[in-house]
Amino acid sequence: MMQNFHRTHRLLAGALVSLSALGCQTDAATEEENGTATTAGAPTADALTQRQMDLVNELQVLDQQLTPVRTLALQDPEIQAQEQALIVEVDEVMERLSPGFLEARDRFEALRVEYGAAQQAGDQERLQTLGTELQGLQAQIQGAQTAAAAEEDISEQIESFRQDLFDWMRAEDPSTGALLDRVVEITDELESMGPPGGA
Note the pLDDT tens digit of each residue in 108-147: 999 999 999 999 999 999 999 999 999 999 999 888 888 8
Band of the pLDDT at 106, cuts 50, 70, 90?
Answer: very high
Are the C-beta atoms of 115 and 125 separated by less than 8 Å? no
pLDDT tens sequence across 178-191 = 999 998 888 888 87
Average pLDDT of the chain? 77
CA-to-CA distance for 184 and 196, rounded, in angstroms? 19
pLDDT at 158: 86
Of all residues in the chain, the percent with pLDDT exceeding 70 is: 74
Whole-number Cα distances in Å, 183 to 22, 63, 99, 116, 187: 13, 9, 32, 32, 6
| Helix axis angle, 19-32 to 124-149, nearest 10° | 130
CA-to-CA distance for 88 and 110, rounded, in angstroms? 20
Q: What is 9-78 written as a DSSP string? A: TTTTTS--S-HHHHHHHHHHHHHHTT-----SSSPPHHHHHHHHHHHHHHHHHHHHHHHHHHHHHTTSHH
DSSP class of residue 197? G
Residue 89 in this model has a pLDDT that exceeds 70: yes
pLDDT at 9: 38
Are the C-beta atoms of 38 and 4 separated by less than 8 Å? no
Contacts of 112 (CB under 8 A, 6+ apart): 1, 134
Map out the domains of the chain as residue ranges: 19-28+43-198
More confident: 103 or 22? 103
pLDDT tens sequence across 51-79 = 888 888 898 899 889 999 999 998 999 99
Band of the pLDDT at 26, cuts 50, 70, 90?
Answer: very low
**Among 24-38, 88-102, 144-158, which stretch is predicted with the lowest mean pLDDT?**
24-38
pLDDT at 188: 82
Residue 155 in this model has a pLDDT that exceeds 90: no
